[in-house]
Protein backbone atom coordinates (compact mmCIF):
# COMPACT_ATOMS: atom_id res chain seq x y z
CA UNK A 1 0.00 0.00 0.00
CA UNK A 2 1.12 3.57 -0.58
CA UNK A 3 3.19 3.59 -3.76
CA UNK A 4 4.79 6.97 -4.44
CA UNK A 5 6.98 8.67 -7.00
CA UNK A 6 8.95 11.90 -7.18
CA UNK A 7 6.99 15.07 -7.88
CA UNK A 8 7.96 18.73 -8.19
CA UNK A 9 5.76 20.90 -5.97
CA UNK A 10 4.91 24.60 -6.20
CA UNK A 11 8.13 25.61 -4.44
CA UNK A 12 10.39 23.50 -6.61
CA UNK A 13 10.92 20.89 -3.90
CA UNK A 14 10.76 17.23 -4.79
CA UNK A 15 7.80 15.80 -2.92
CA UNK A 16 5.84 12.58 -2.75
CA UNK A 17 2.97 11.67 -5.03
CA UNK A 18 -0.53 11.18 -3.68
CA UNK A 19 -0.59 8.17 -1.29
CA UNK A 20 -3.63 5.89 -1.26
CA UNK A 21 -3.94 5.64 2.53
CA UNK A 22 -3.93 7.69 5.72
CA UNK A 23 -2.30 6.98 9.08
CA UNK A 24 -3.45 7.86 12.58
CA UNK A 25 -0.63 7.84 15.13
CA UNK A 26 -1.21 7.31 18.84
CA UNK A 27 0.94 6.66 21.88
CA UNK A 28 1.22 3.19 23.40
CA UNK A 29 -0.94 2.83 26.50
CA UNK A 30 -3.63 5.18 25.18
CA UNK A 31 -6.47 4.31 22.80
CA UNK A 32 -6.50 5.73 19.27
CA UNK A 33 -8.71 8.57 18.09
CA UNK A 34 -8.54 10.66 21.24
CA UNK A 35 -9.14 14.36 20.64
CA UNK A 36 -8.33 16.77 23.47
CA UNK A 37 -11.03 19.13 22.22
CA UNK A 38 -13.59 16.63 23.48
CA UNK A 39 -12.33 17.12 27.05
CA UNK A 40 -13.57 19.54 29.67
CA UNK A 41 -10.96 22.11 30.65
CA UNK A 42 -10.28 20.47 34.01
CA UNK A 43 -9.86 17.08 32.33
CA UNK A 44 -7.48 18.57 29.79
CA UNK A 45 -5.25 20.10 32.46
CA UNK A 46 -4.81 16.70 34.12
CA UNK A 47 -3.99 15.09 30.77
CA UNK A 48 -1.64 17.95 29.85
CA UNK A 49 0.34 17.39 33.02
CA UNK A 50 0.63 13.68 32.23
CA UNK A 51 1.82 14.47 28.71
CA UNK A 52 4.31 17.00 30.03
CA UNK A 53 5.64 14.38 32.45
CA UNK A 54 6.15 12.00 29.51
CA UNK A 55 8.15 14.70 27.71
CA UNK A 56 10.31 15.47 30.74
CA UNK A 57 10.96 11.74 31.20
CA UNK A 58 12.13 11.45 27.59
CA UNK A 59 9.23 9.26 26.49
CA UNK A 60 7.86 11.91 24.14
CA UNK A 61 9.08 15.00 22.30
CA UNK A 62 5.64 16.54 21.81
CA UNK A 63 5.00 19.87 23.52
CA UNK A 64 1.59 20.88 24.87
CA UNK A 65 1.67 24.42 26.25
CA UNK A 66 -0.88 25.85 28.67
CA UNK A 67 -2.79 27.54 25.82
CA UNK A 68 -2.60 24.58 23.44
CA UNK A 69 -6.26 23.62 23.86
CA UNK A 70 -7.38 27.20 23.24
CA UNK A 71 -5.38 27.30 20.01
CA UNK A 72 -6.56 23.84 18.97
CA UNK A 73 -10.23 24.71 19.44
CA UNK A 74 -9.87 28.03 17.60
CA UNK A 75 -8.11 26.22 14.75
CA UNK A 76 -10.81 23.56 14.56
CA UNK A 77 -13.56 26.18 14.51
CA UNK A 78 -11.96 27.93 11.52
CA UNK A 79 -11.19 24.61 9.83
CA UNK A 80 -14.77 23.41 10.24
CA UNK A 81 -16.19 26.68 8.93
CA UNK A 82 -14.04 26.48 5.79
CA UNK A 83 -14.91 22.81 5.32
CA UNK A 84 -18.64 23.53 5.46
CA UNK A 85 -18.17 26.44 3.04
CA UNK A 86 -16.51 23.98 0.65
CA UNK A 87 -19.54 21.69 0.80
CA UNK A 88 -18.43 19.38 3.59
CA UNK A 89 -20.95 17.91 6.02
CA UNK A 90 -19.17 17.29 9.33
CA UNK A 91 -20.80 14.95 11.84
CA UNK A 92 -18.54 16.01 14.71
CA UNK A 93 -17.53 19.36 16.20
CA UNK A 94 -13.87 18.31 16.12
CA UNK A 95 -12.29 15.80 13.71
CA UNK A 96 -10.20 12.67 14.02
CA UNK A 97 -6.70 13.38 12.74
CA UNK A 98 -4.56 11.51 10.22
CA UNK A 99 -1.44 12.01 8.16
CA UNK A 100 -1.85 11.58 4.40
CA UNK A 101 0.29 8.53 3.74
CA UNK A 102 2.79 8.19 6.57
CA UNK A 103 5.21 10.45 8.45
CA UNK A 104 8.53 9.37 9.96
CA UNK A 105 8.59 12.73 11.78
CA UNK A 106 5.25 12.12 13.48
CA UNK A 107 6.08 8.48 14.19
CA UNK A 108 9.23 9.59 16.03
CA UNK A 109 7.46 12.07 18.31
CA UNK A 110 7.08 9.43 21.03
CA UNK A 111 8.48 6.05 21.94
CA UNK A 112 6.36 3.06 20.97
CA UNK A 113 4.11 5.06 18.66
CA UNK A 114 1.29 2.92 17.31
CA UNK A 115 -0.72 3.52 14.16
CA UNK A 116 -4.02 2.85 12.45
CA UNK A 117 -3.82 2.73 8.64
CA UNK A 118 -6.97 3.25 6.55
CA UNK A 119 -7.32 3.29 2.73
CA UNK A 120 -8.36 6.64 1.28
CA UNK A 121 -11.25 4.90 -0.44
CA UNK A 122 -12.69 3.92 2.97
CA UNK A 123 -13.01 7.51 4.21
CA UNK A 124 -16.44 9.21 4.09
CA UNK A 125 -16.22 11.79 1.31
CA UNK A 126 -18.78 14.16 2.85
CA UNK A 127 -16.90 14.24 6.18
CA UNK A 128 -13.23 14.26 5.12
CA UNK A 129 -10.99 17.27 4.61
CA UNK A 130 -7.27 17.89 4.13
CA UNK A 131 -4.83 20.71 4.80
CA UNK A 132 -1.25 21.23 3.62
CA UNK A 133 0.58 21.00 5.97
CA UNK A 134 -1.06 20.34 9.38
CA UNK A 135 -4.14 22.40 10.23
CA UNK A 136 -2.44 24.37 13.06
CA UNK A 137 0.08 25.71 10.56
CA UNK A 138 -2.37 26.09 7.69
CA UNK A 139 -5.06 27.99 9.60
CA UNK A 140 -2.42 30.49 10.75
CA UNK A 141 -3.75 31.40 14.19
CA UNK A 142 -0.49 30.71 16.02
CA UNK A 143 0.60 34.34 15.86
CA UNK A 144 -2.10 35.22 18.38
CA UNK A 145 -0.45 32.75 20.77
CA UNK A 146 3.14 33.88 20.28
CA UNK A 147 4.02 31.18 17.74
CA UNK A 148 5.75 31.80 14.40
CA UNK A 149 3.57 32.15 11.30
CA UNK A 150 4.77 31.97 7.70
CA UNK A 151 2.01 32.41 5.15
CA UNK A 152 2.19 30.30 1.99
CA UNK A 153 -0.22 30.00 -0.97
CA UNK A 154 -1.72 26.71 0.23
CA UNK A 155 -2.26 27.91 3.81
CA UNK A 156 -5.79 28.78 4.89
CA UNK A 157 -7.25 26.35 2.36
CA UNK A 158 -9.30 23.25 3.07
CA UNK A 159 -9.39 20.54 0.42
CA UNK A 160 -12.08 17.89 -0.12
CA UNK A 161 -11.25 14.28 -0.99
CA UNK A 162 -12.17 15.00 -4.60
CA UNK A 163 -9.63 17.86 -4.60
CA UNK A 164 -6.65 15.84 -3.36
CA UNK A 165 -5.06 14.94 -6.69
CA UNK A 166 -5.38 18.51 -7.99
CA UNK A 167 -4.06 19.97 -4.72
CA UNK A 168 -1.01 17.69 -4.70
CA UNK A 169 -0.37 18.39 -8.36
CA UNK A 170 -0.39 22.14 -7.68
CA UNK A 171 1.33 22.32 -4.30
CA UNK A 172 3.10 19.00 -3.84
CA UNK A 173 3.42 17.21 -0.51
CA UNK A 174 5.80 18.40 2.21
CA UNK A 175 9.11 16.60 2.56
CA UNK A 176 9.24 14.25 5.53
CA UNK A 177 12.24 15.21 7.72
CA UNK A 178 12.39 12.96 10.79
CA UNK A 179 14.29 13.50 13.98
CA UNK A 180 14.70 17.22 14.68
CA UNK A 181 12.32 17.80 17.59
CA UNK A 182 14.18 20.21 19.87
CA UNK A 183 12.28 23.51 19.87
CA UNK A 184 10.08 22.45 16.95
CA UNK A 185 7.13 24.39 18.38
CA UNK A 186 9.05 27.64 17.87
CA UNK A 187 9.73 26.99 14.17
CA UNK A 188 7.54 27.02 11.11
CA UNK A 189 7.62 23.66 9.43
CA UNK A 190 5.96 21.77 6.61
CA UNK A 191 6.39 18.06 7.16
CA UNK A 192 3.15 16.30 6.22
CA UNK A 193 -0.34 16.84 4.88
CA UNK A 194 -3.06 16.35 7.47
CA UNK A 195 -6.38 14.62 6.84
CA UNK A 196 -9.32 15.38 9.10
CA UNK A 197 -12.27 12.98 9.34
CA UNK A 198 -15.33 14.65 10.84
CA UNK A 199 -17.12 11.39 11.54
CA UNK A 200 -16.90 8.47 13.95
CA UNK A 201 -17.10 6.05 11.00
CA UNK A 202 -13.33 5.51 11.31
CA UNK A 203 -13.67 4.13 14.85
CA UNK A 204 -14.37 0.73 13.34
CA UNK A 205 -10.68 0.55 12.37
CA UNK A 206 -9.46 0.55 15.95
CA UNK A 207 -7.30 -2.42 16.90
Residue 133, domain extent:
6-205
Annotate 172-186 with b (16+ C-beta within 10 A) or e (fewer).
bbbebeeeeeeeeee
Residue 47 lies in a domain: yes
Dihedral over alpha carbons 103, 109, 111, 114 (to 10 degrees): -40
pLDDT at position 16, please?
A: 60
∠ Cα 178 184 190 (to 5°): 60
- Provide φ and ψ at 97, rounded to 5°: -105, 140
pLDDT by 10s per residue, the chain, length 207: 444 433 444 444 444 678 999 999 999 888 999 999 999 999 999 999 998 998 998 888 888 888 999 999 999 999 999 999 999 999 999 999 999 999 999 999 988 899 999 999 999 999 999 999 999 999 999 989 888 888 999 999 999 999 999 999 999 999 888 777 887 887 878 999 999 999 999 999 986
The pTM is what? 0.90
In a domain, 29, yes or no: yes
> What is the total count of domains within the chain?
1
pLDDT in the model for residue 207: 64
Q: Is the peptide bond before 64 cis (omega within 30 degrees of 0)?
A: no
Residue 177 lies in a domain: yes
* Residue 104 domain-assigned (yes or no): yes
**Residue 1 included in any domain:** no
Amino acid sequence: MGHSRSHIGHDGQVSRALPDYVTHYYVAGRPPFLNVSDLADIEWEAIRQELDADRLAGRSSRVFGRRYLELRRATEAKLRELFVAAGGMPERISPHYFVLGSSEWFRGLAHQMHEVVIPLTALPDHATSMTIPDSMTSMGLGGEFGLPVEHRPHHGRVFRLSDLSEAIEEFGLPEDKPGDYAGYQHRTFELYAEVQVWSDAVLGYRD
